[in-house]
């Protein structure tokens, strides 16, 4: 069975991801370092990994395969999942692809440099209803293509 892995600690679209995955017959796996409420969807599996840097990322990369999909805002995790052949989508509906991941990693490094030098305060844009809607549409299309 194909699986949808959700990097769940700070994911704003957990419920939407589970709902859409189950509707398409995929299993949904939420991976977290802890502190996550149980899902209201009985078909979702919740995996709690030990605390530590990248523990959830490492678990997802180890578990995912070429037929699977990953939801994450973490660009290095997206790159690692793409290397395994998984399809990757950000919470705003932005797909990460082998063609786009290099630019995303470069922009991440550049933004980190700006924050470290004080040129940028590092504020992220608020998550909007349009982002949620775009995510729902993008995930539905991604899972339909399988």
Residues 109, 104: Cα–Cα separation, whole Å: 9
| pLDDT value, residue 108 | 52
Q: Which two tokens stand for residue 74?
A: 């973490």
| pLDDT value, residue 116 | 63
Predicted TM-score of the model (pTM): 0.83
Residues 67, 42: Cα–Cα separation, whole Å: 23
| pLDDT value, residue 70 | 97
Spatial contact of 10 and 73, defined as CB atoms under 8 Å apart: yes
**How many C-beta neighbours within 10 Å does residue 143 have?**
20
| Residue ranges of the chain whose pLDDT lies below 70 | 35, 38-39, 41, 101-124, 146
If you ran DSSP here, which 8-state letter would residue 8 be given? -
Any residues with CB less than 8 A from the CB of 138 and at least 6 apart, and which?
89, 93, 94, 95
Which residue segment(s) compose the domain that 61 sits in? Answer: 3-144
Q: What is the CATH number of the domain that holds 108?
A: 3.40.50
* Residue 106 C-beta-side C-alpha neighbours within 13 Å: 5
3-state class (DSSP) for residue 136: helix
| pLDDT value, residue 17 | 96
The string of DSSP letters for 9-25 reads: TT-TTHHHHHHHHHHTT
> How many distinct structural domains can be found in the chain?
1
Tokens 């699986």 belong to residue: 3
| pLDDT value, residue 4 | 97
Residues 135, 101: Cα–Cα separation, whole Å: 18
């Amino acid at each position: 069975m194909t699986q949808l892995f959700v990097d769940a600690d700070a994911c704003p679209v957990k419920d939407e991801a589970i709902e859409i995955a189950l509707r398409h017959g995929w299993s949904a796996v939420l991976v977290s370092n802890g502190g996550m409420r149980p899902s209201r969807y009985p078909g979702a599996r919740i995996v709690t990994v030990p605390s530590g840097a990248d523990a959830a990322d490492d678990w997802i990369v180890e578990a995912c395969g070429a037929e699977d999909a990953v939801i994450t805002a973490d660009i290095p995790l997206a790159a690692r999942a793409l290397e395994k052949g998984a399809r990757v989508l950000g919470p705003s509906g932005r797909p990460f692809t082998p063609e786009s991941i290099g630019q995303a990693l470069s922009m991440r490094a550049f933004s980190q440099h700006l924050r470290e030098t004080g040129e940028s305060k590092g504020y992220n844009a608020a998550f909007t209803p349009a982002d949620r809607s775009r995510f729902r549409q993008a995930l539905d299309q991604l899972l339909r293509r399988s």
